[in-house]
């Protein structure tokens, strides 16, 4: 693909520069190899010229320029119409950013004046119009798609904002729960320490009570044993008391003191029994000589006795 020839300052650039409007210029335009050129006044004021071959063998030219997304097309006429003055005028008009001015200028050029071929070819205009319509439809589709994507992005941004708000809320709740858990943990530890202290104190008191109860149980057992013994003695005493009492009479003059009687009978003490009505029988059963003895309270001594009638 060859590079498009460029015209700057009304000079066709190349190995052999050609001035616009010179005989060499028109000869170059009529050359079948010449298909297009770029006419540039400056970086923004320029257009692309294209040649369309006709059945007669001659060519007609049209100018093309894209301004604000719209492709502008203007018929330039035949080779002889591409003068220096015509090109300078066309490049200014087709490059203007004023859309209304361009439309008015294009309207004045839509029909050829007498002796001029500067009009837009019908087929070229139709093709450009169709292309513009297609581009317009495609642009509308792209705009609709862009709008849909913008709406989707806005929705996602709204959802993201809601998620961030919810996340911040959950973060605050988590922080509060963490602090509350720390406080509860602290209270729980303090409560456990207090409960442990009370438990130790209660256990010590319970152990002390158990020991006291064990001592009391022993005392109660001992008292119950003594009670049983006393009840047995009382029953025996009542039995003996209800039985006919033998009559005793003193014999001899021998008397024994309390200690002597205890040693004679082999008992540590006989104090509880010495006033008992059955003491003579009791002492007779313990005495080594089978003698019976009776206590004399006035003399504070024991004396030997025998049953009457024996």
Instruction: Give the integer Cα–Cα distance in Å for 110 and 89.
Output: 16
* Counts for the chain of helices (H) and strands (E), in that order: 6, 10
Interaxial angle between packed helices 279-286 and 258-265, expressed in degrees from 0 to 180 and rounded to the nearest 10: 50
pLDDT band at 115 (very low <50, low <70, confident <90, very high): very low
pLDDT at 298 over 50: yes
Q: Residue 309 and residue 248: Cα distance in Å, rounded?
A: 9
| 3-state SS class at 154 | helix
pLDDT tens for 132-187 read: 667 677 778 888 888 888 888 888 888 988 878 888 887 899 788 778 778 867 87
pLDDT at 132: 62
Q: Could you give the 3-state DSSP secondary structure of residue 88?
A: helix
The domain spans of the chain are 6-120, 248-307
Model-wide pTM > 0.75:
no
Q: What is the mean pLDDT of the chain?
A: 82
For 165-178, give one letter per residue: b (16+ CB within 10 A) or e: eeeeeeeeeeeeee
pLDDT band at 75 (very low <50, low <70, confident <90, very high): very high
């Amino acid at each position: 693909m060859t590079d498009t020839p460029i015209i700057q300052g009304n000079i066709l650039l190349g190995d052999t520069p050609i001035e616009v409007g010179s005989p060499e210029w028109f000869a170059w335009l009529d050359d079948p190899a010449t298909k297009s050129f770029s006419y540039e006044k400056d970086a923004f004021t320029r257009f692309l010229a294209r040649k369309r071959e006709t059945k007669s063998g001659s060519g007609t030219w049209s100018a093309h320029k894209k301004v604000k997304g719209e492709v502008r097309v203007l018929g330039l006429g035949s080779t002889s119409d591409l003068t220096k003055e015509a090109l300078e005028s066309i490049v200014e008009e087709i490059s203007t950013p004023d859309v209304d001015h361009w439309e008015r200028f294009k309207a004045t050029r839509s029909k050829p004046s007498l002796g001029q071929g500067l009009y837009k070819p019908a087929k070229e205009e139709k093709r450009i119009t169709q292309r513009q319509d297609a581009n317009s439809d495609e642009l509308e589709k792209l705009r609709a798609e862009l709008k849909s994507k913008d709406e989707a992005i806005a929705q996602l941004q709204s959802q993201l904002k809601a998620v961030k708000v919810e996340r911040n809320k959950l973060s605050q709740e988590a922080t509060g729960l963490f602090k509350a858990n720390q406080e509860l943990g602290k209270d729980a530890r303090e409560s456990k320490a207090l409960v442990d202290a009370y438990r130790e104190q209660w256990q010590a008191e319970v152990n002390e009570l158990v020991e006291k109860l064990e001592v009391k149980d022993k005392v109660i057992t001992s008292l119950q044993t003594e009670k049983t013994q006393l009840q047995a003695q009382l029953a025996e005493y009542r039995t003996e008391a209800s039985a006919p009492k033998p009559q005793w009479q003193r014999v001899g003059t021998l008397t024994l003191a309390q200690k002597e009687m205890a040693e004679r009978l082999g008992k540590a003490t006989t104090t509880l029994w010495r006033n008992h009505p059955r003491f003579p029988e009791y002492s007779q059963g313990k005495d080594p000589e089978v003698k019976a003895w009776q206590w004399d309270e006035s003399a504070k001594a024991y004396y030997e006795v025998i049953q009457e009638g024996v």
